[in-house]
Amino acid sequence: MSVPSNPLTALIAEKGVLLADGATGTNLFQQGLEAGEAPELWNEEQPDKIVKLHQDFVDAGADIILTNTFGGTRHRLKLHKADDRVFALNRKAAEIARAVADKAPRKVIVGGSVGPTGELLQPLGALTYADAVEAFVEQIEGLKAGGADIAWIETMSAPDEIRAAAEAAVKVGMPYTYTGSFDTAGKTMMGLDPKDIHGVAPDIGSGPTAVGANCGVGASDILASLLDMTEADPDATVIVKGNCGIPEYRGAEIHYSGTPPLMADYARLARDAGAKIIGGCCGTSCEHLAAMRSALDGYTPGPRPTIETIVDRIGPLRNKTATESSQAAGRERRPRRRG
């Protein structure tokens, strides 16, 4: 199936650098989502709150908003006895985001969020590649029907799962992007190195519109991954969507350490490091995003940052980077403990 013209590519050509939105889950928790609840069910049960989330991000300056469908495959939804509602929930989510985007005073792209299935593909697990493609097709069909502009494949660890989601997007007739989460000693949990992100799916359809990183363990680490990605392919359109500082437990609640000024500086450094799409992930509020918008507007990029610059301005790395490019920063690093 042929892929239609791509509004994301057109908007990058027009504006140069785009601002993607912030967190979905952590902001919905602020609106009353309970731990263990499926955010996707709120597309039907609490649509006004999803509208508010998207509208707040658009008002803060986002050029791209992502649908509330991160866990929208049958494999995730079956945990909530909703695996028979995949198409409807994804379509509804895209319709909500589309309506907000269409009311905006400027062009806003709707990315159809496609997260991992939560299953391991063969031979490590039971899920076959074909079954993974089928599950992603089911989800992306709903996103397309609801008006999403592009399949936004995110927070991935396994190259095979990225390829399955990309193949599904092409089957449905949508352009796609993908991002990995480099949260395990500078690589994804399944061992993908940031510099190798470009080689995961260049042969699927006409290739990805953009690739990059999201989530992870903090703004400094994702900027280190960004340096590796843009060095490996300076011409690629690279996405960076980092967490708002470092998560810390305060009693029973998770708090993210990043302030609006810190996220503004992260956005400037991401621009200097060559990112074309810059946003926030876990913990990134509308206030953070507004600060990032202000930081990027009219910003003239500076020199490509070093690891030392990143550590000095954003804080120490939590992971060891894949490149080990700075001995000076190395003493600041400590391995991440899971759990």
**What is the band of 257 on the pLDDT scale with cuts at 50, 70, 90?**
confident
**Residue 313, both tokens:** 């301005």
E strands, 69-206, are 109-114, 150-156, 176-180
What's the whole-number mean pLDDT along residues 213-235?
96
To the question of domain 7-330 being in CATH 3.90.79.10, the answer is no
129 with 159: CB under 8 angstroms?
Answer: no
CB-based contacts of 304, cutoff 8 Å, min separation 6? 227, 272, 273, 274
Is the pLDDT score of 112 beyond 90? Answer: yes
Q: Tell whether 215 is in a known binding site.
A: yes
What's phi and psi for 312, nearest 5 deg?
-65, -40
Q: How far is CA 329 from the centre of its chain?
A: 26
pTM for the full predicted model: 0.92
**What residue ranges do the domains of the chain occupy?**
7-330
Task: Using DSSP, state whether 255 is helix, strand or coil.
Answer: strand
Handedness of CA 13, 15, 21, 22 (dihedral sign): positive
Quick: pLDDT tens for 20-36: 999 998 899 888 899 88
Q: Tell whether 282 is in a known binding site.
A: yes
Task: Using DSSP, state whether 51 is helix, strand or coil.
Answer: helix
What number of other Cβ atoms are within 10 A of residue 129's Cβ? 14
- What's the number of CA atoms in the CB half-sphere (13 Å) around residue 33? 23
Local structure of residue 113 (DSSP, 8 states):
E
What's the whole-number mean pLDDT along residues 207-234?
96
Q: What is the pLDDT of residue 75?
A: 97
